[in-house]
Amino acid sequence: MNNHPAIASGNVAVITGAASGIGLAAAKKFVSLDMKICMADLDEMGLEKAGAEVAALCSGGATDILAVSLDVSDFPSVENLKGKVMQTFGQVNVLMNNAGTSLRAGTWSDFQHWQTMLNVNLWGAINGVQAFTADMIAQGLPACIINTGSKQGITCPPGNTAYNISKAGIKALTEGLQHDLRNTEDCQVSAHLLVPGFTYTGMVKAHLPEKPPTAWLPEQVVEYMLEKLADNEFYIICPDNDVSEEVDAKRILWGAGDLANKRPALSRWHPDYQQAFADFMEE
C-alpha cells in the first residue's frame, strides 16, 4: 500500500494521547514503517509502559522514541513539546492531535466536566495546531496534521452536549485549517479529520471489560486512516462492525436536512420524525 508522503522511513510523528487506544496503535504502526515517534500523554505511568512497548519495536531502539508527559490543554506545555521534538529529531512530519476525554455532563449542569472536555478535546487540538503548524510549513517537507474528531461532533446525538460541542469544534477547526493550508503558497502540509467509529479504546473498556463484536480495534482504525491518507482524503470517517460507510453518509445527510428543511432540532430523535427517518434510511 502506498502512503501519504509524510509517512515515510526516517520521518517524525508526534502523537498526543499516545499511551493507549488509537494513539498507541498509531505509534506502533508508524515505527513499523521505520519512523521516529514522539509520544505525549497526561498519564505518566501509562506513557512509560507504552513508550517501552513502542521502543522495543523500533529499529533504532529507545533513540527513536521521545516520551513526554503533558497536559494538552496548557499551551506553554504544548509549545515546550514542540521544542523538545525539534531539538531531538529536527523536524515534524506528522502531528496527531489525538488526546481526548469523555465525561458525563448535562446541558445545564456539570460545569467542571464541560470545562475539562472543552479544554482537553478542543483546546488540546487548537494548541497543537497553534504550536506546530507554522514550523511544519517552514520545513518545506511533506507533512500532515490529523485531528481526531467524533461522529458525535457531526450528528450531535442527545445525551452529552458538552462532548458533542468539543468534537464539533474539532471538525470546524480542521476544515478551516485545511482551507488555509491549501491556500498557502508552497505549503506541503495537509490537514485531515479522523472520525473513528465504535472503537474499543480505554474509555470503552472502563464500561465494557470485553470487546463488543460491533466494535473495531484501534489497529483497524489506524489501518483505515493510512489507506485514506494515501488517497489524500480529508474526511476519514471510519465504519465499524455494525455501521457501514453508507449508513454513516445517510445519517449525516439527515442531520444536515434538519437545517435545510427546517425540521425540529435533532429530528432523528424526535418522536414525530421517527418513521420519516426510518423511511429515509431504507431509501
pLDDT at residue number 1: 66
For 229, counting Cβ atoms within 10 Å of its Cβ (0-12 exposed, 13-18 middle, 19+ buried), the class is buried
Q: What's the predicted TM-score (pTM) here?
A: 0.96
Long-range contacts of range 51-60, CB-CB < 8 Å, 24 or more positions apart?
53/24, 53/28, 54/24, 54/27, 54/28, 57/28, 57/31, 57/32, 58/31, 59/31, 59/34, 60/36
pLDDT at residue number 2: 83
Q: How many CB atoms lie within 10 A of CB 232?
A: 11
Amino acid at 282: E
For 92, counting Cβ atoms within 10 Å of its Cβ (0-12 exposed, 13-18 middle, 19+ buried), the class is buried
Asked if residues 145 and 95 have their Cβ atoms less than 8 Å apart, the reply is yes
pLDDT at residue number 9: 96
pLDDT at residue number 58: 87
Label the pairing between strands 94-97 and 65-69: unpaired
Closest listed residue to residue 100, CA positions, set 12, 15, 192: 15
- CA 238-120-73 angle, to 5 degrees, is 135
pLDDT digits (tens, 9 = 90+) for 154-185: 999 999 999 999 999 999 999 999 999 999 99
Q: Mean pLDDT across the stretch 65-69?
A: 96
Between 211 and 206, name the one with better pLDDT. Answer: 211
Q: Mean pLDDT across the stretch 27-40?
A: 97
Q: Mean pLDDT across the stretch 138-150?
A: 98
What are 69's strand-pairing partners?
41
Amino acid at 264: P
Asked if residues 144 and 192 have their Cβ atoms less than 8 Å apart, the reply is yes
Asked if residues 229 and 187 have their Cβ atoms less than 8 Å apart, the reply is no
pLDDT digits (tens, 9 = 90+) for 228-283: 999 999 999 999 999 999 999 999 999 999 999 999 999 999 999 999 999 999 99
Domains and CATH numbers, the chain: 12-243 (3.40.50.720), 244-283 (no CATH)
pLDDT at residue number 202: 78
Grid coordinates standing for 113? 466536566
Q: Whose grid coordinates read 491549501?
A: 182
pLDDT digits (tens, 9 = 90+) for 70-123: 999 999 999 999 999 999 999 999 999 999 999 999 999 999 999 999 999 999
* Distance (Å, whole) CA 71 – CA 45: 14
